A and B are shown apart, each in its own frame.
Chain A
Amino acid sequence: DSGVTQTPKHLITATGQRVTLRCSPRSGDLSVYWYQQSLDQGLQFLIQYYNGEERAKGNILERFSAQQFPDLHSELNLSSLELGDSALYFCASSRMGRPTDTQYFGPGTRLTVL
């Protein structure tokens, strides 16, 4: 158990809908990251937050947004969902958000868009 929690574990929804994925980092970690793992793309970095502020951005679609709250939990919002958004979404956390900090991953949320 990494100490990173993600809810829900599974999510099934329809095209055009909007969903919110939630992540709680390990105790003491200030930085959270979101990654997407799809069948044909592998694990892809989406976005990083440190202590409530956005720090780094990957190939995150404009339909996707995220935020980190004062209690350090984070939410990833996916809107106008398409079939291709079906994937595993992982949250990770690290102590200070530095490149040499180890990132610890949660169990993931499996999103299925029908």
Chain B
Amino acid sequence: DQQVKQNSPSLSVQEGRISILNCDYTNSMFDYFLWYKKYPAEGPTFLISISSIKDKNEDGRFTVFLNKSAKHLSLHIVPSQPGDSAVYFCAASARETSGSRLTFGEGTQLTVNP
């Protein structure tokens, strides 16, 4: 049961344009969401997060939008740069009686063309 889904395995955009990466979730207990970026042969790098009490969080070129009713979040990158080319993972966590864990989507390969 894939609780976090990224339906687009890949996305290609031109440098300077907007990149929009999407993520859907099914578990209504998720209340904290994160985006990670991963380059080959490296670990995931934290990008931005959002709590379920918000619908938007912005950090420089990166903005995450959360639509709780649709169980959908998206990451906007504006403007896109060639160095943004990487695999992007959406992740979610839920309040647990003890401890925490991240549930990841399958990832989306973003390619930004010069």
Tell me the A residues contacting B by CB distance below 8 Å: 2, 4, 6, 31, 33, 35, 42-45, 48, 50, 55-56, 58, 90, 92, 94, 97-108
Known: A99-B93, A107-B43. 4 other contacts (CB 8 A): A2-B45, A33-B101, A102-B46, A108-B43
Once A and B bind, how many residue pairs between them come within 8 Å at the CB atom?
Answer: 72
Answer whether A103 and B102 are a contact pair too, CB < 8 Å, given A2-B45, A56-B96: yes
- Minimum CB–CB distance for A83 against chain B, Å: 22
- Asked if B36 is at the interface (CB within 8 A of a chain A CB), the reply is yes
- Asked if B106 is at the interface (CB within 8 A of a chain A CB), the reply is yes
* Count of B interface residues, CB-CB < 8 Å: 28
- Asked if B17 is at the interface (CB within 8 A of a chain A CB), the reply is no
Answer whether A104 and B46 are a contact pair too, CB < 8 Å, given A98-B100, A99-B100: yes
Tell me the B residues contacting A by CB distance below 8 Å: 31-32, 34, 36, 41-46, 49, 51, 89, 91, 93-96, 98-107
